[in-house]
Every structure is written in structure tokens, then in C-alpha cells.
């Protein structure tokens, strides 16, 4: 009962966050793009007569709805990396990451069948918290899910603990869940915190528990066979924090997975900086050795690695 109450509260919070988006700003951005075509960010701010944070919030909403696109994938990474408490300043660094924004052709509200299919493809397991994260009403999807379950197209059950009782998935997904969790996956892998593939960013109960273990807003998370073991975040110079005891060998593997993703995300900054690990300077102890093994060098910020990663090689 307590878990269900927590799930309801968490879902309500997600829905409230979705509703908090300024509809006036969203409409103003759409109108500017509709009237003038593809625009750079400063042009959208000027034409919409909205503040920068409002415009970025509106663009994030429209990207989620599939109604706008950008010349570069880096724009999506920048939006995903924004923190609610962070004041956004329009700098050359931000502008360098973004191309032009333009409208897509998907203005019509998609049919519930199309939305349900997309959710099944994106998440594999469809639950109420996932629809809330997408800004989709569960009441629009639930009747269709029940119909598909009755026809044998999908199955309903309690497959993942902490997600509530109304869970729908295709049979192939359920079989994958029942297999060895490490089968076919690298032992350690990293995800952006807001990546849809990271269930801890939206999953009721579990997501808040993971965040509570970290002394900062996470930007990246390292998983070991699906279990969070290391978080990174806290600003431009990242802090690292472990979420379970790690041996020296495990720490090196976790750092390797983290750096592999960080180099891609930080390609435009040209450097990855690690300031600390569990509150201690990043150059000390085993963490310093692990970072040196990944090509980091010590400077006054901590441990730094200059990247030459080419975004065109991103796969």
C-alpha cells in the first residue's frame, strides 16, 4: 500500500511538472517558427518575445511532442542536460551547440493506437508513470491496452517491482525480462540521466531513491547489469559519487564506461573534468589511478581529459 501511494505521488509530480510548462511560450515559439521558417535560438527569443528559459522550456516540450527538430543532435543533449534550478545564460558555448530550429510536419494529434505503439517500442514495458513522463493521459491509453490484452496482442502483469500493477508489454519483452539480466549487455554501461532508456529518471519510487543517494543532480549514471553504481553531475566540473561499494577493479570498469559516454557528450567543450569522488579530490587514491588509466591529467580543477571526439563518428 505504501509503495502504491508513493507511485501515485510520484506520478502526480511528473504530471504537475508537465503541466507547469508555459503554454503561451510553447504557442509563441511555434508561431515564430511557422511564420519565419528555420530559426536560430536568438531569433526565436527575439520573435517570440519570451525569455531564454521560457523558450528553452518550450523547445524541450515541442521536441518531446515531435513537433520541432534541429540541425544538430547536440541541441537535444543540451536540453536534456539542463537543470531546473540552473539559470540559463545565452553564451557562445550554447550557440555553438545549436543549429537552426524548425517545425516538423507532425501537428495533428496522433491517434491513441499510434501513441500506444510508440510507447511499447520506446519503453518495452508501458506503465502509468511512463505515460505521465511523456505528458500523455493514461485514460486515453488504458482502454486500448486492455483491448489489446484481451485480444492477446500484449500481456498484462506485475513484471517489474516498484512500477505499480498496471504493466503492459509484448511477450518478447517479458521473456527478455525473465532472462539473465546481464545477457547480451556489457557489464558496465553509462546513460544520460534523462535518457528514456534510464528508468530511474522516471520510475516511481526507485528513481527518487537513486537521486536521494547522490549529493547532486545527476547528469550521467553508470549501471552494472541494470543496477546503479555510480553517478556524475553537479556542474561543469563533475563530481562522482558511488551508490554501492566498488572494488578497485569495479571502479576502473565503471569509470571506463562513464568516460566513454562523457567524451561524446562533452565533445563541443573539448574536455571532461572530474572534480571529486565521494567528497575526496579526484586525483587521490584509486579514483586517481582509474582516471589516469583513461587518459586524465591533473590540473587545478581536478582531473581533466582533453577530448578529440568527432561527433560525426557518434553511433
Cell digits of residue 50: 519570451
Sorted by where each begins, the domain ranges of the chain are 14-103, 112-178, 188-313
According to CATH, the topology of domain 14-103 is Arc Repressor Mutant, subunit A (1.10.10)
pLDDT above 70 covers what percent of the chain? 79
CATH top-level class of 188-313: alpha beta
CATH 1.10.10 describes domain 112-178: yes
Q: Are both 112-178 and 188-313 of the same fold?
A: no
pLDDT tens sequence across 266-306 = 655 677 889 999 999 999 999 999 999 999 999 888 899 88
Residue 183 neighbours by CB distance under 10 Å: 8
Average pLDDT of the chain? 80
What is the predicted pLDDT for the residue at 206?
Answer: 52
What is the predicted pLDDT for the residue at 18?
Answer: 42
Q: Report the predicted TM-score, pTM, of the whole model to 2 decimal places.
A: 0.61
CA–CA separation, 15 and 12 (whole Å):
5
pLDDT tens sequence across 223-274 = 988 889 999 988 778 999 999 899 999 999 999 999 888 887 765 567 788 9
What is the predicted pLDDT for the residue at 85?
Answer: 56
Contact call for residues 129 and 91 (beta carbons, < 8 A): no
Residues 6+ apart with CB under 8 A from 209: none
Q: Which residue, chain included where needed, has cell 513484471?
A: 159
pLDDT tens sequence across 19-64 = 445 789 999 999 999 998 889 888 999 999 988 888 888 998 888 7
Amino acid at each position: 500500500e505504501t509503495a502504491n501511494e508513493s507511485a501515485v505521488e510520484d506520478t502526480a509530480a511528473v504530471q504537475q511538472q508537465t503541466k507547469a510548462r508555459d503554454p503561451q511560450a510553447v504557442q509563441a515559439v511555434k508561431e515564430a517558427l511557422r511564420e519565419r521558417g528555420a530559426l536560430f535560438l536568438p531569433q526565436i527569443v527575439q520573435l517570440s518575445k519570451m525569455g531564454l528559459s521560457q523558450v528553452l522550456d518550450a523547445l524541450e516540450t515541442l521536441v518531446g511532442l515531435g513537433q520541432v527538430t534541429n540541425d544538430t543532435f547536440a541541441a537535444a543533449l543540451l536540453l536534456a542536460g539542463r537543470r531546473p534550478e540552473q539559470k540559463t545564460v545565452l553564451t557562445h558555448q550554447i550557440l555553438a551547440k545549436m543549429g537552426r530550429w524548425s517545425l516538423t510536419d507532425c501537428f495533428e494529434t496522433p491517434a491513441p493506437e499510434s501513441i500506444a505503439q510508440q510507447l511499447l517500442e520506446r519503453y518495452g514495458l508501458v506503465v502509468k508513470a511512463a505515460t505521465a513522463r511523456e505528458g500523455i493521459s493514461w485514460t486515453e491509453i488504458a482502454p486500448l491496452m486492455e483491448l489489446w490484452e484481451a485480444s492477446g496482442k500484449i500481456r498484462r502483469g506485475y513484471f517489474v517491482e516498484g512500477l505499480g500493477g498496471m504493466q503492459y508489454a509484448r511477450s518478447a519483452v517479458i521473456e527478455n525480462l525473465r532472462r539473465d539480466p546481464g545477457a547480451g549487455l556489457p557489464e558496465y554501461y553509462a546513460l544520460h540521466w534523462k535518457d528514456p532508456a534510464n528508468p530511474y529518471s522516471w520510475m516511481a519510487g526507485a528513481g527518487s531513491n537513486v537521486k536521494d543517494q547522490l549529493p547532486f543532480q545527476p547528469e550521467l549514471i553508470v549501471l552494472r547489469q541494470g543496477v546503479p553504481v555510480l553517478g556524475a553531475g553537479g556542474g561543469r566540473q563533475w563530481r562522482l559519487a558511488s551508490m554501492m561499494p566498488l572494488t578497485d577493479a569495479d571502479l576502473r570498469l565503471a569509470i571506463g564506461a562513464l568516460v566513454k559516454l562523457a567524451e561524446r557528450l562533452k565533445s563541443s567543450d573539448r574536455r571532461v573534468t572530474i572534480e571529486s569522488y565521494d567528497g575526496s579530490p579526484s586525483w587521490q587514491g584509486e579514483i586517481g589511478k582509474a582516471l589516469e588509466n583513461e587518459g586524465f591529467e591533473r590540473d587545478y580543477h581536478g582531473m581533466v581529459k582533453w577530448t578529440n571526439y568527432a561527433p560525426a563518428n557518434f553511433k
